[in-house]
Chain A
Amino acid sequence: MTLVDFNDVVLPGNDVSDIVFKGDTCKRSEKTIGPGLKSANNKIIVCNGGVLRSKDDKYFWIEFSKKKYSPAKDDVVVGIVAAKTSEMYKVDIGASELATLPYLAFTNATKKNRPEIKVGNVVAAKVKVATPFMESEISCVEYANRIILGQLENGFLFNVSLNYALRLRKSSSKLLYHLGQMVPYEIVIGVNGKIWINSASIRTTIAIGNAVMKAEHLEEEDIPQLVKNFNKSLNV
Chain B
Amino acid sequence: MSEDFLKCQLGFLGNTEGSAYLSQGKSTVSVSVVGPFEPKASKCMYDRATVDVTFRRKTGSITVHDKMLEGIMQSTCEKSLVVEQYPRTAIVVTVQEMQDRGNLLSTCLNASCMALMNSGIAMHHLYAAVSCAVTENEEIILNPDESQINSSVAYFTLVFTNSETRFLLTSHTTGEFSQTTYMECMNKCYAASKEVFKFYENVIKKSYIFN
Contacts and interface: CB of A to CB of B under 8 A. Distances in A.
B35 A68 contact: yes
B152 to A, nearest CB: 32
Contacts of B182: none
Most buried by B among A9, A45, A50: A9
Interface in B154-211: 161-164, 197, 200-201, 204-205, 208, 211
B60 interface: no
Nearest to A64: B120
Interface residues of A, number: 27
A66 B123 CA distance: 13
Contact of A132 (B37, B85, B211): B85
Contact of A96 (B35, B119, B125): B35
B144 interface: no
B110 interface: no
Interface of A: 1, 7, 9, 11-15, 36, 38, 45, 47-51, 63-68, 96-98, 132-133
Most buried by B among A50, A51, A68, A133: A68
B122 A47 contact: yes
21 contacts: A9-B208, A11-B126, A12-B80, A12-B117, A12-B122, A13-B123, A14-B162, A38-B122, A47-B82, A47-B122, A47-B124, A48-B121, A48-B122, A48-B123, A51-B208, A66-B121, A67-B120, A68-B35, A96-B36, A96-B89, A133-B87
A13 B208 contact: no
B38 interface: yes
A66 B124 CA distance: 17
Nearest to B46: A133
B88 A133 contact: yes
Given A66-B17, A96-B36, A9 B86 contact: no
Contacts of B120: 48, 64-68
A12 B164 contact: no
A67 B126 contact: no
A170 B122 CA distance: 26
A13 B17 contact: no
Contacts of A51: 208, 211
Contacts of A66: 17, 119-121
A97 to B, nearest CB: 4
A67 B35 CA distance: 9
B58 to A, nearest CB: 27
B165 to A, nearest CB: 11
A132 B38 CA distance: 11
Contacts of B164: 1, 15
B87 A49 contact: no
Contact of B86 (A48, A65, A67, A96): A96
Contacts of A97: 37-38, 88-89
B122 A49 contact: no
A38 B81 CA distance: 13
Given A63-B211, A96-B37, A45 B124 contact: yes
Given A49-B204, A51-B211, A12 B124 contact: yes
B82 A11 contact: no
A132 B83 CA distance: 12
Interface in B78-127: 80, 82, 85-89, 117, 119-126
B80 to A, nearest CB: 8
Given A1-B164, A47-B123, A47-B124, A9 B82 contact: no
